[in-house]
Amino acid sequence: MNLWRIAPSVYLPALLYGIGQGAIAPVVAVSATHLGASVAAAGLVVAAAGLGQVIGDIPAGALTNKIGERRAMLLATGLVALALVACLLVPTAWGLAIAIGATGVAGAVWGLARQAYLSEAVPIEMRARALSTLGGVQRIGSFIGPFLGAFAMRFLGTDGAYWVHLVAAILACGVLLSLPDVESVRRTRGSRPVAAQSTWTVIGEHLPVLRTLGVGALLVGAVRASRQVVIPLWALHIGLDPETTSIIFGLSGAVDMLLFYPAGSVMDRLGRKWVAVPSMFVLGLAHLLLPLTDSTATLTAVALLMGVGNGLGAGVIMTLGADASPPVGRAQFLGAFRLFADTGNGAGPLLLAGATAVLGLGPAIVIMAGTGWAAATAMHRWIPPHPLPDRTA
């Protein structure tokens, strides 16, 4: 299979969805304060998206297993469109929090369904390239989104960012209608129908993988999420202005975007460890070096190193989840596996904040460096040398 054959129907919706998510990311807290929320309450509104994603992971697997990957993505796109309309209309900050939480639930369904689709549609020898490209396209969308949101806000105020996401979601829905149903892919590849299993049965049968490789995914999620927080916090600590900080963060993101396809190619050719372990080692090293920086130049250098480390790991968690997923109950397993990674994404900033309150920012960043190296150790210990081919159902 050539990835270009499925690129328009698979990657274009992901790009559009990523643009929308990127567009609203910088303005949710601002919208909450405009509705009367305090700074602390605005932070909770922002966190509602991550909470919604964690809540939605397990149900997303069950839903995708029941109605199919394409229908689940269409349903999620409809849900996020309704949530965005609510973001434009709600009169209170708590109403906004509920709407933002709904976008997180929709994101969980969307992310799981497209991962499950590619896990089925792409042969295993191309799986890592397919999934790392998916992760890379999402990064590109998140990079473009804030600029389109800023342009729209020139004319519509903060509502402009939500309109960008809403239009992008509608366009993604239109493209998804051209997506071949994965059932036709299964028939083409000669797979036989599989019997349905309950979500908890699937989780129970694969608990050994979830409590080992799943914990590794949690650590990976924690250190990746920490990266997005420590750069601006340390920039503030050493006295850099917000404009300089934004440029440094943008440069780090640009480097991150460049590495997704090479990372996928290495995973397909040499194995998943050759990307997962170096990615976490480099992220841990960058965290360790960050407290030693004291200028724009040195912070930029470490931020670029963080971008390299994060970019090396593009798609690795999705690929590991797809490798470990069974043909019977694939979507339910992926929901449980993604729950670990998404919990890590939420826990990383909380761990950093708690350690900062007790020890100070520098020592807290060093703790996150140790988390990165713990993730590298877990990946080295629990990733099998080569992915096993899908078993016949």
Q: What's the rounded Cα separation, in Å, for the pair 372 and 298? A: 21
Q: Same topology for domains 1-193 and 194-388, yes or no?
A: yes
329 exposed, middle or buried (CB, 10 Å; 0-12, 13-18, 19+)?
Answer: buried
Pick the CATH number of 1-193 from 1.10.150.170, 3.30.565.10, 1.20.1250.20, 2.40.170.20: 1.20.1250.20
Alpha helices in 28-68 (DSSP H): 28-34, 39-67
Q: pLDDT tens for residues 10-36?
A: 788 889 988 998 888 878 888 888 898
Token pair belonging to 61: 């697997």
Give the SS3 label for residue 51.
helix
Confidence at 212, pLDDT banded by 50, 70, 90? very high
Give the position of tokens 């080569």. Answer: 386
Residue 289 scores a pLDDT above 70: yes
Percent residues over pLDDT 70 in the chain: 91
pLDDT at position 389: 56
Residue 308 scores a pLDDT above 90: yes
Residue 195 scores a pLDDT above 80: no
Q: pLDDT tens for residues 327-341?
A: 888 889 999 999 999
Q: What's the rounded Cα separation, in Å, for the pair 120 and 117? A: 5
Contact indicator for 74, 23 with CB cutoff of 8 Å: no
Confidence at 265, pLDDT banded by 50, 70, 90? very high
- pTM, full prediction: 0.84
Contact indicator for 278, 370 with CB cutoff of 8 Å: no
Superfamily for the 194-388 domain:
MFS general substrate transporter like domains (1.20.1250.20)
Torsion over CA: 331, 337, 338, 339 (sign)? positive
Q: What's the rounded Cα separation, in Å, for the pair 342 and 364? A: 21
Task: Delimit the domains of the chain by residue range.
Answer: 1-193, 194-388
Q: pLDDT tens for residues 358-382?
A: 898 899 999 999 999 999 999 999 9
